[in-house]
Chain A
C-alpha cells in the first residue's frame, strides 16, 4: 500500500524566502508528526497533530515555523524568512492512532537555504 509521501524531495531557497513543505500521510492514520534532521544530529521533534485536537507545537524552534493539517489528512509545514540554520532534512511520519508508538516515515524533504 501507499506509504507516507513528501514533496518536494529537494528544495533550495534563498535566505529570507518562505518555503512550504508538504506531507501526505498514510490513509486513515490519525496521528501526524514533523521532525527535522540537521547535519550530524538525530531527528528533532517539531510538531504533532492528532485528529481534530489542537496540535502540539512544543518542538517548533521559532515563530517562523508553522504547520497545518487540513481535513485531518495532508499537512503543510511552512518556514517563513528562512535562515541558513534551517537547512536540514524535514521528515514527516504518521501512525494509526495516538499512543501507537510505531511511526511510519516519509522519505523527507532536503531543504537547503543559501
Chain B
C-alpha cells in the first residue's frame, strides 16, 4: 500500500522554464511534508518542507504547494537550472510519531540546455 505516490517517474524541462513535480498521498493523518533531492551515489538531501497548516512555502527558486482537500502537493522550481537535474522524493510524516518518513518512489528531473 503506497501511501505517498509520485506518478511521474521522470520529467524533462528546458533550462529557465518551470519544473513542476507532483505528489499525492492517501493517509489523511500526514501533517508534515518534505521534498528531498538525490544525486547519484549520494544520500537524499533536504530541500523544502511544509506543514499542513500552510498551503504554500517558498525558498528561493523552490516553492511547495499543499492542497489538503485533494491530498496533493507539488514542488515548483523556477527557473530550472541544469544543476537541478536529480531525483526528487516527496515524503510525509505525522508529527509526534518520531518523524518516521514515508517516501514516494521519486521523480527523475532532467533539465536540458
- Please list the residues of chain A having a beta carbon within 8 angstroms of any beta carbon in chain B: 4, 31, 33, 35, 40-45, 48, 50, 56, 58-59, 91, 93, 95, 98-108
Contacts and interface: CB of A to CB of B under 8 A. Distances in A.
A100 B93 CA distance: 11
A48 B101 contact: no
A24 B34 CA distance: 23
A54 to B, nearest CB: 12
A10 B36 CA distance: 23
Taking chain B's interface residues, is the majority helix, strand, or loop, or is none over half, making it mixed? loop
Contacts of A42: 2, 4, 6, 89, 102-106
Given A102-B34, A102-B46, A105-B45, A40 B105 contact: yes
Most buried by A among B6, B43, B95, B98: B43
Interface of B: 2, 4, 6, 32, 34, 36, 41-46, 49, 89, 91, 93, 95-96, 98-106
Given A42-B4, A104-B46, A56 B98 contact: yes
A59 B44 contact: no
Contacts of A95: 99
A95 B98 CA distance: 11
B99 A45 contact: no
Contacts of A101: 32, 34, 49, 93, 95, 99, 101
A107 B44 CA distance: 8
A107 B46 contact: no
Nearest to B36: A105
Most buried by A among B6, B102, B103: B103
Contact of A107 (B34, B41, B101): B41
B35 to A, nearest CB: 11
Most buried by A among B46, B89, B91: B46
8 A-B pairs with least C-beta separation: A105-B43, A42-B103, A43-B103, A42-B105, A102-B46, A101-B99, A105-B44, A45-B100
Contacts of B93: 101
